[in-house]
Every structure is written in C-alpha cells, then in structure tokens.
Amino acid sequence: MASRRALVVFSGGQDSTTCLYLAKEEHEFVSALTFAYAQRHAREIESAKKIASLANVEHEIVDLGPLFKGLSSLVDPSAPLPGASETTNHGAVQQLPSTFVPGRNMLFLSLAASRAYARDCSTLYIGVSQEDFAGYPDCREGFIKSMQQSIGAALDREITIQAPLMHLSKKQTVELAQRLPGCLDALAYSTTCYNGSHPPCNTCNACLLRARGFEQAGVIDPLLRSARQLC
C-alpha cells in the first residue's frame, strides 16, 4: 500500500509536473520542493510556483545560490548549449554533455530526504528518466536505487524513492499526463527550455525532446496553445 505522505522534487518542468500530479493521485498529502541554483532557466521557478498553486500543494523553494557555478553550462549563461545531435542516448556519446551538473540529483535527493524526514513523508518522487534523457548518470535506475539505500542509512529511516518516468519515453510521459486530472492544464505553465525562453527556443535539446514526445503522442503541447502569464 502506498504511504500517506509524499514529497516531490519539483522543478516546474514537464516531468516533475507529471510526477506531482501522479503523487496527488497516490497520496493524501503532497509537498513540493523546488531548488533555485542560479540556473539559466530560472523561469522554471515561476512555473513551479504557479503549478504548485494550481495543484493546491504545499510548496517550498530552497535557494542554494550559485552552488554549482563553473561546473556546467546549465548555470553559465555565456556558455553554448548543446543541440540534440550532441546529446543522444544511443550509445554514441563518449563524453557527458556540458549541461550535466555533477552531483545535482544527489544533492536534490539529499535535501529532499531531510525535508521528508522532518515532514514525516515516507515517499520521494523525482522525475528522472533513463530512456529519454541525455545520458546523465544521475538519471539512471542504478543511481536511484543506490541513493535510496544511502538515504535509509543516513536517516535510519526507510524512505522510498519513486521515479515513475524512469522507463517511459517522452511520448509515454505525455500519455500519462493525459490520464491525470488537471495535469495537461498545468503543463501549459511548465518550463522545459534550457534557455528559459518563453515561447520555448525549440532549438535546445530539452525543447526538442519535449516537442517530439507531444508529437508522437498526438497531443498539442498546451504550452504552445497560448501565451500564459505566470504571475
């Protein structure tokens, strides 16, 4: 049986929004946790606020400051972002893409676990996927399973990490969102673009993956239906 209380690592993007609405289906109490880390796509913080409000869940934003400065193009506005061809996940990639922020999901899960401990939540949700993503090691199942063990050992308490998108393609993630009441409407306010552009840039890898997923699912991305105001 699912536990009663869950905490969602919530960026305000497509995947974590889908996780948030799934967590709401599966738990009585849901809390969302968003991290500000001077990311270039800081618009997602505003997305997170708006969607948490729509979803009517408790929401905390933790400001980590420029904690990863110098470690990734994702936190350096002057660095070029890789295009889709540089970040495929089909065995051809020799190096990690420049958007890899080393240790980011490990840090997020560590902090989420300490919040979960304090709020008596026994389940964490995180929207990582090893199917569709850019070869980031901290999006893989092996890492998530290991981290669940580390969290249990660190806190002397069992906390389950749910990564429901782990084996879903972006098409399947869109189909899941369709089945969750309110989720597609919320996705109209989400931010996926690595550049934080609105309308999305449609050239960065994150934009291209999202667009392909909606296209393959035969669904019009609600983000594109109309210009949405976040504030």
Residue numbers at the binding site for a copy of itself (CB under 8 A): 62-65, 67-68, 70-71, 96, 101-107, 110-111, 113-114, 117-118, 137-138, 140, 142-143, 146-147, 149-151, 153-156
Query: Taking the complex as a whole, how short is the minimal distance between the CB of residue 66 and a copy of itself, in angstroms?
Result: 10
Query: Taking the complex as a whole, how short is the minimal distance between the CB of residue 170 and a copy of itself, in angstroms?
Result: 23
Question: Which residues lie below 8 Å from residue 214, measured CB to CB, with a gap of 6+?
Answer: 170, 174, 220, 221
Residue closer to a copy of itself, measured from CB, 62 or 220? 62
Query: Taking the complex as a whole, how short is the minimal distance between the CB of residue 207 and a copy of itself, in angstroms?
Result: 25
Query: Taking the complex as a whole, how short is the minimal distance between the CB of residue 120 and a copy of itself, in angstroms?
Result: 12
Return the closest-CA partner of residue 47 out of 187, 213, 164: 187
Question: Which residues lie below 8 Å from residue 191, measured CB to CB, with a gap of 6+?
Answer: 12, 13, 41, 43, 44, 46, 47, 198
Query: Taking the complex as a whole, how short is the minimal distance between the CB of residue 97 and a copy of itself, in angstroms?
Result: 12
Burial group, residue 26, by CB count within 10 angstroms (0-12, 13-18, 19+): middle
Measured from the Cβ of residue 145, the count of other Cβ atoms closer than 10 Å reads 11
Strand order from edge to edge, sheet including 29-36: 58-63, 29-36, 5-9, 123-125, 160-162
Phi, psi angle pair for 52, to nearest 5°: -60, -35
Query: Taking the complex as a whole, how short is the minimal distance between the CB of residue 89 and a copy of itself, in angstroms?
Result: 14
Q: State the Cα angle at 210 between 207 and 212, rounded to 5°.
A: 105
Query: Taking the complex as a whole, how short is the minimal distance between the CB of residue 29 and a copy of itself, in angstroms?
Result: 18
CA distances from 200 to 50, 60, 84, 100 (A): 18, 26, 15, 20
**Concatenated DSSP letters of 9-28:** E--SSHHHHHHHHHHHHH-S
